[in-house]
Amino acid sequence: MSFLELNNITKQFGRLSAIEDIHLSVNEGEILGIVGPNGSGKSTLINVITSYYRPTRGDIFFEGRKISGLRPDKIAKLGIARTFQSNVHFENIPVLHSVLMSSYLQYTTNNWQSFFRTKAYRAEHKEIVGRILDILKMLGLFDDFEKIFLPAPSLSHGHQRMLGIAIALASGPKVLLLDEPTTGMNHEEAMAVVENIKKINEMNITVILIEHNMKVLLNLATRVAVLNFGTKIAEGKPEEVMNKQEVIEAYLGTETI
């Protein structure tokens, strides 16, 4: 069985199938790209994997364990984290504290130890803060010391996107799902994100990437799966898949072809 495996995943809203009979295997350590036209079911697929939506049919297995049907916090606890298409952050809370709030899954000390700030809690908290600062440095959010104490909405769009990734990384994931991480960015900003995702992957974190920017995708993905109208129509190496006739038609239409 694969590291992360989706078997016959279907999600219906009423009579409408947003995704239908999706079979997908994700290998540990890879960067898998999920692509397709708008409305093809890409974000729905991420929402099902992370249990924001429960599948209508089918099962999801992670490290050999069935996880479909678990609560989102249980999914995160097992090591699957995600970002969102829009900038999601804690309003008026400093950058550092926003990321620290997301690191609670890493604590092994209990509420009693936290309340009394025991030696064990202080040692663990110091270690986790150090880890968070390393994440912020890696993602370019700690180039200015004052920046980490600014409220999240005061950051530039690009830095807010990076903050979303930092918040996801704070949970200590084994799998990171990125939903359009370069949206709204220029070429230079997008290429900076590419480098950051490579660094994340080098930390032995498996990445599942939804991305419309083909340059970003070709620079990152080791494998690509293409969705169209909720079904998987192609899978394989990026250069091969994007040249398939059915994929070209999905993006451009048969009349244009």
Kindly write down the DSSP assignment for every residue of 180-234, as one continuous string.
Answer: STTTT--HHHHHHHHHHHHHHHHTT-EEEEE-S-HHHHHHH-SEEEEEETTEEEE
Q: What is the pTM of this model?
A: 0.93
The pLDDT of residue 257: 41
The pLDDT of residue 254: 56
The pLDDT of residue 256: 44
User: Is residue 229 pLDDT above 80, yes or no?
Assistant: yes
CA 33 to chain centroid, in Å, comes to 11
With a CB cutoff of 8 Å and minimum separation 6, the contacts of 149 are 94, 95, 96
The pLDDT of residue 75: 97
CA distance 82 to 169: 9
User: Is residue 195 pLDDT above 90, yes or no?
Assistant: yes
CA distance 140 to 219: 20
User: Is residue 86 pLDDT above 90, yes or no?
Assistant: no
The pLDDT of residue 63: 98
Chosen CATH of 1-79+173-191+204-257 out of 2.60.40.10, 3.40.50.300, 1.10.3720.10, 3.30.1280.10: 3.40.50.300
With a CB cutoff of 8 Å and minimum separation 6, the contacts of 27 are 2, 3, 206
Residue 13: phi, psi to the nearest 5?
Answer: -115, 100
Tell me the residue length of the chain. 257
Q: Where are the domains of the chain?
A: 1-79+173-191+204-257, 89-172
CA distance 201 to 196: 9
User: Is residue 212 pLDDT above 90, yes or no?
Assistant: no
Mean pLDDT of the region 133-140: 95
**DSSP letters of 123-164?**
HHHHHHHHHHHHHHHHTTS-SSGGGGGSBGGGS-HHHHHHHH
- Judge contact between 240 and 224, C-beta under 8 A: no
Provide the 3-class DSSP secondary structure of residue 11: strand
User: Is residue 131 pLDDT above 80, yes or no?
Assistant: yes
- Closest by CA to 46, choosing from 91, 6, 100, 89, is 6
* pLDDT confidence tier of residue 253, bands split at 50, 70 and 90: low
**Average model confidence (pLDDT) for the chain?**
92
The pLDDT of residue 242: 87
Q: pLDDT: is 144 or 47 the higher one? A: 47
42-63 pLDDT, tens digit per residue, is 999 999 999 999 999 999 999 9
Q: How many helices (H) and strands (E) does the chain have?
A: 10, 10
